[in-house]
Structure 1
Amino acid sequence: MKLLLRSGFQRTVVRDRFTCVNAVMFRRVWRGTNETVLAYSESEALAYRVAEADADPTDPFVVDPDLTMWQCGGEFLDVAGQLLELPAAPGHSTFEGK
């Protein structure tokens, strides 16, 4: 969790209205890309990357699979690590010319 926070993610607790379960959400938006990790427990989490325009911050539990650039479910440490290891989204590299 500390690595996500050091990487610019904001942490909040959100409630899934469908399942009535609380989750810890880690979210960052950078250059038009939304990256989110939803942790239900140590063993159950969902991580995804979508364009910022395709994300609904009021309901982070609903993600259109046709709009995601990447998504993964599984254990929290695994999915968070995979998200952090992703290369920058096309057109979002720090090193690309402006």
Structure 2
Amino acid sequence: MKLLLRRGFQRTVVQDRLTCVNAVMFRRVWKGTNETVLALSESEALAYRVREDDVDPADPFVVDPDLTLWQCGGEFLDVASQLLDLPPVPGQSAFARRSGGAPSR
């Protein structure tokens, strides 16, 4: 959990309205991409990456699988590690060339 926080994720407690179960949500949004880990317990978690506009932050438990860029379920440590190990979405690299600048020669 500390690694997620160090990597810029915000931690909140959310409730699944359908099952009335509380979960710890770790979420970060960067350059239009939403990355979320929902921890129901140590052995039950869901992680996903979607475009920011394709998820409702008020109901993070409902994500259209056709719109996810990546998703994984399983044990908390496993899904969180897999999410953190994903390569950046194209255009997210801190070292990528910015668009709109003068062309290099």
TM-score w.r.t. the length of structure 2 is: 0.92
Which ranges of structure 2 fall in alignment gaps of 5 or more residues?
99-105
Over 2 Å off, 4+ runs: none
CA distance in structure 2 between the partners assigned to 1:92 and 1:2 by the alignment: 23
Bigger Rg, which one: 2
Aligned to 2:102: none
CA distance in structure 2 between the partners assigned to 1:18 and 1:82 by the alignment: 27
Aligned to 2:15: 15
Amino acid at match of 1:9: F
Cα RMSD (Å): 0.5
- Cα deviation, residue 69, structure 1: 0.3
Is 2:78 the counterpart of 1:82? no
Q: Deviations over 1:16-58 (max 9, x none)?
A: 0001100000000001100000000000000000000111100
- Cα deviation, residue 77, structure 1: 0.1
Amino acid at match of 2:41: S
CA distance in structure 2 between the partners assigned to 1:55 and 1:8 by the alignment: 19
Aligned to 1:59: 59
How many residues align? The count is 98
Which ranges of structure 1 fall in alignment gaps of 5 or more residues?
none
Amino acid at match of 1:89: V
Range with bigger deviation, 32-41 or 83-92: 83-92
